[in-house]
A and B are shown apart, each in its own frame.
Chain A
C-alpha cells in the first residue's frame, strides 16, 4: 500500500512534468505546423494511398530488367536470367508515384533480438494474401489468387507458375503438403496446432491438386480464412513451425522422417539445442538463419542476434514494377542496434534513418518537427485503425474483493467511470491533440464500425451524469475528501488499474491524470505499474481489476476478439474466457449480455461476408453500450505511426493504413521504395 502511494506521488510528478512539457510544446513549437485545420496535427495526416497490383493481363510487362549486380552474376553464368527467375506469373506492382532506380541501403534502427517485428514489418511480407491499401480488402500476394467453394468449406489457393525460393529451388504445392503432413500434423513439432487452421476444435486439411493449386478443407464454412491467409507466412511464423508452407527441400535435413539419425544428432549438438523440433524451428527462423530459403524481397544475411541486422535483395524476388524492373530497388536493409529507445529517437532526429516509424515516440513530436529541415526528413502521421491507444479493459469476473468485483460487473458503474474522464485533456497533453477522444470502436473507415454515434456513446465527459449514475447505484455515502464509501463499511471504494512500464505511451502518467478526473466523481483510482511479462501472469491469475493498454488487433475483430468477448485468459474476465474456450466445461458462465455476444461471435465466424459484417457491427455496438472497455483516446499515430522519412526516398505514401494486419510499412510495398538522385 505504501509502495503504491509512493509510486503514485513519483509518477504524479512525472505526469505533471510531462503535462507541462506537453502544453509548452503545444504553445511554443506547434503553431506553425498545427495551425491549419481544426484538429491540431491535421496537416501531418495525409490521404490514404499506396501502390496497386496490376491484374490486367494487357498491362503485365513481357520484358524484364534486374539490378546491375544481379545482371553481372547472370553474365558470369552464376544465376539464371531474370525472366527464368521470376517465373510465368510475377507479382506486378504499379508504384505509388514513379518507376524507381536501383541501388542504396535502407538504414533503420532496432533494439535487439526481441525486436523481430522491426524486420518483419520492413521486409517480412510473405503472406499468401495481403491487405489492400484500405486495410480492409484482401488481395493476392505470394499466392496469385483463391477460390471458395459455394459452401465455404473448401478454399483453393493458386500459386504462381515457375516461382522459386531464394536459393533457386521451385516453390510448389509440395511445400504446402510438406508443411501440413510433416510439420502441422507432427505432434512433437506442433503439439498445439496453428490456431487459424482449427475451426471449432477440428483441424483443417491441406492437399495438392496440382503443382500450383493447394486445397484447404474444413468441416464448416470458413469464409474468414482469407483474413488469416493475409497474415502469417514463413517470415513471421516459421520460427514456431506455423506459416502454411515451408521449404521442404531445405528442412528435410532437420526432420527425423527424412534425415539420417547420425547427421541429425550432430546438427542438434552443433546448434546447442535439446531436440530436433527446436532445431527445425531455429532453422526455419527467417530472422536468425541466413541459410534459410525464403520468398521475401530481401533475405537476412546478418541475423537479428548480431549488432547489425542486415538483409540483402533476394535474386528470386517475384515483385516487379509495371515497367518490368525486378524489385526491390534498394539493395539492402541495415538495422543498427540501439540499446534503448531514446537512442533510436535521437538518431532518427539526427537523420540517421531513411524510413522509420517503429519506436518513434509521440512525446518527441515537437523536437522531431523542429529538426525537419536540418536533418532533411518529412514527418507523416499514420493514424491507427483500432479505436483506443489507451483503454481500460474491465475485468467483469474479478472476485478477490467481491464488492469491487460486483461493481466492475455492473454496467452503470462502468458507464459512470467512462463518463468521468476528460478525454480531450488527455488528448492535448499526451497526444499533442493528434488523437481522437471516444469509445474503443474501430475507425469509421473500418468495415466493422457500428456507426459514428458509437464513438461517443458513454464516452463523452459528463461528470454530472456520472455522479447521477453512481448515486443511483446506492453509492451515496462519501468521506471527508469526497470519495464514495463501500457498502460493506470497509471505507473508500477504491478501484485498481494495472499499467505496463516502458511502453511507447506513458500509460501510468495518463492514469494519474484520470485518477484526478475520477476524484470529481468520488472514485479513487489506485495505479499499479508492472513489467510487461508480469502483467500477463497477473491477468491470467484473475488478479487484475482494470487492465490499461491499447486495443490494437481489435480492428480485425475475428482475429483478435478480446474487445467484444472474453476468450481464453483475456483481461475482460479470465474465468468467462475459459468458459468460452473450453466450451462450458471450465471457468464461470458469463452474464447474459456477454453470453449472447459469444453466441453471435460464433455465428459470425462461419458466416459469409455480409452476414459476418452485420454481426460484427452488432458486437461492437454491444461492447460500446456495455462499456466492456473504457476507451480514452484512440485513432492516433502513437503506435508505429510517427513516420520519419528522408526527403530523398521515393514512392512514399502520404498516409498508410496502420494496424498490426498491415504490417506498415509492409502494406506500402517497401520493394518500391528507392533513393532519388
Chain B
C-alpha cells in the first residue's frame, strides 16, 4: 500500500520535471524570441530599433544565454517560488497570473457545477424513461450542445446581447469595478456577469455527462439487485436513487482528478471571444509574444495540475476498487 503510494508519487515528480523541461523547450522551439516581438511592435508604431539595440535587449533579458542555462536559471528560481518577470507585462509572473487564476477557477467551477446540475438529472431521467419523447429531446439538445463549438455559442449570445439588450459585451466586471479592490459590490458585479459565460462553457460538457450517466444507469437498472429492491416494496424513487444511481456515479468520481487541469484550461477559447480576464487569453498572448517565463509558468501549472489530478484519481480508484489494491 505504502509502496504503491510512494511509487506513484515518485513517478509524478519525474513527470513534472519532464513537463517543465518540455514546456520550456517547446515555447522556445519557434524561431525568434520576445525581442523580435517587441521590435516588431515598436517598428509597427514608427519607432526605429537598430539591430545592435535588439542584441542589447537580448543580453538584458538573458536571452543570449544557451537554452539549458536559461532553463536552469528559471527552474531554480521557480523552486524558490519566483516565477520571474513577464517581459510583456513588466511585472512578476505570479502577480500577472494571480487574480486571473482565481477568476478562472471561479468561472470553470461554476461551469462544472452547472453541467452536473443540468446533466445528471437529465441522464437519470433518460435512463429510466429510455426512448421516451423527452429522452429524445434531451439527447438531441445535448448533442447540439456538443456539436456546436462553445465559442460560436458565445459569439451568437454576444451578438444577441448587443442587438436586443444593449448589454455589457464581454468581460467579467462592469467598467467601474474592473480595477476596483474587492468589495461586496464587486463580488455582486461578478455574480451578475458569471452566469452567461458559465452556461456557455457548461453547455458543451452536458451531452457527455448525460450520455455517460444514461449508459451507466441503464447497465445498473438491468441488474438483479434492482429487482430485489423493488420486490422489497421500496418506492420507485428509492429504488433508483439509493442504489443504481450511486453505482453509476462511480466513473465520475474516478475522473474527478481530470477536472483540475480543466478548470484552468477549459475556458481558453470562450474567454478569448468573450474577453474574460482568465488565464486563457494570457496564455495565448504570451505564446505569440514568446513571453516565455509567463507562458512557461502557465504550461507548468497546467502540467502540475494534470499530474496531481491523475495522482488523486489513482488514489481514489485504489480506495474504491479492491482489484487494484490486490495487484500491489
A residues adjacent to B (C-beta < 8 A): 107, 112-114, 116-117, 120, 191-192, 195, 231, 236-237, 240, 272-274, 277-278, 282, 285, 288, 302, 305-308, 310, 334, 336-340, 342-343, 346-347, 349-350, 352, 531-538, 540, 552-553, 559-560, 568-569, 659-661
Contacts and interface: CB of A to CB of B under 8 A. Distances in A.
B309 to A, nearest CB: 26
Given A307-B179, A569-B51, A340 B90 contact: no
B37 A660 contact: no
Contact of B275 (A107, A340, A350): A340
A512 to B, nearest CB: 23
Given A114-B41, A347-B169, A350-B169, A338 B275 contact: yes
Contacts, number: 133
B96 A308 contact: no
Contact of B45 (A191, A340, A660): A660
Interface string B168-205: 01110001001100000000000000000000000000
Contact of A534 (B30, B46, B52, B158): B30
B48 interface: yes
A272 B61 CA distance: 12
B47 interface: yes
A192 B85 contact: no
B225 interface: no
Contacts of A112: 88, 285
Given A307-B179, A537-B31, A192 B89 contact: no
Contacts of B45: 116-117, 120, 660
Interface in B116-171: 158, 162, 166, 169-171
A195 B82 CA distance: 36
Interface in B37-57: 37, 39-41, 43-53, 56
Contacts of B41: 114, 116
6 contacts: A307-B179, A338-B275, A339-B275, A340-B275, A346-B170, A559-B48
B91 A310 contact: no
Most buried by A among B46, B52, B178: B46
A343 B58 CA distance: 33
Nearest to B100: A307
Contacts of B52: 191-192
A350 B60 CA distance: 43
B289 A114 contact: yes
A568 B50 contact: yes
B46 A660 contact: yes
Given A114-B289, A336-B175, A533 B32 contact: yes
Contacts of A306: 179
Given A114-B41, A282-B90, A334-B175, A340 B32 contact: no
> Which 10 residue pairs of A and B lie closest in terms of their CB atoms, listed nearest first?
A660-B46, A533-B36, A339-B281, A533-B37, A537-B32, A117-B45, A343-B275, A192-B52, A339-B275, A192-B53
B261 interface: no
Contacts of B88: 112-114
A383 B36 CA distance: 29
Given A192-B52, A337-B277, A338-B170, A532 B89 contact: no
Contact of A272 (B44, B85, B171, B277): B85
A394 B89 CA distance: 35
Contacts of A659: 46
A350 B162 contact: yes
Nearest to B280: A339
Given A272-B82, A308-B179, 7 more contacts: A192-B52, A277-B60, A339-B275, A339-B276, A533-B289, A537-B31, A559-B48
Interface string B238-270: 000000000000000000000000000000000
A538 B36 CA distance: 11
Contacts of B53: 192, 240
Given A114-B41, A338-B275, A310 B31 contact: no
Contacts of B36: 533-534, 536-537
Contacts of A349: 162
Contacts of A535: 40
A236 B48 CA distance: 12
Contact of B272 (A274, A339, A660): A339
A536 B175 CA distance: 37
Given A339-B281, A532-B40, A191 B32 contact: no
B12 interface: no
A569 B56 CA distance: 17
A334 B180 CA distance: 13
B89 A113 contact: yes
Most buried by A among B39, B44, B90: B90
B82 to A, nearest CB: 8
Contacts of A272: 82, 84-85, 92
Given A310-B179, A338-B275, A340-B281, A553 B32 contact: no
B296 to A, nearest CB: 16
Interface string B84-105: 1110111110001000000000
A342 B155 CA distance: 10
Contact of A192 (B50, B281, B290): B50
Contacts of A531: 30, 288
A93 B62 CA distance: 46
Nearest to A569: B51
Interface in B11-38: 30-33, 36-37
